[in-house]
């Protein structure tokens, strides 16, 4: 999930925890 990943990156200090 790249769309959801963008939101996660901001919350996890630019650290994408999702895979797809």
DSSP label at residue 12 = T
- The predicted-structure confidence for 1-20, as pLDDT tens digits, reads as follows 566 666 766 666 555 555 55
pTM of this structure: 0.11
DSSP label at residue 13 = T
What does the pLDDT read at residue 10?
64
**Could you give the CA distance from residue 8 to residue 19 in angstroms, rounded to a whole number?**
11
What does the pLDDT read at residue 4?
65
CB atoms within 10 A of CB 3: 7
What does the pLDDT read at residue 19?
54
What does the pLDDT read at residue 3?
64
What does the pLDDT read at residue 17?
57
Residue 3 three-state SS: helix
């Amino acid at each position: 999930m790249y769309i959801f990943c963008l939101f996660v990156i901001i919350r996890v200090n630019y650290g994408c925890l999702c895979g797809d």
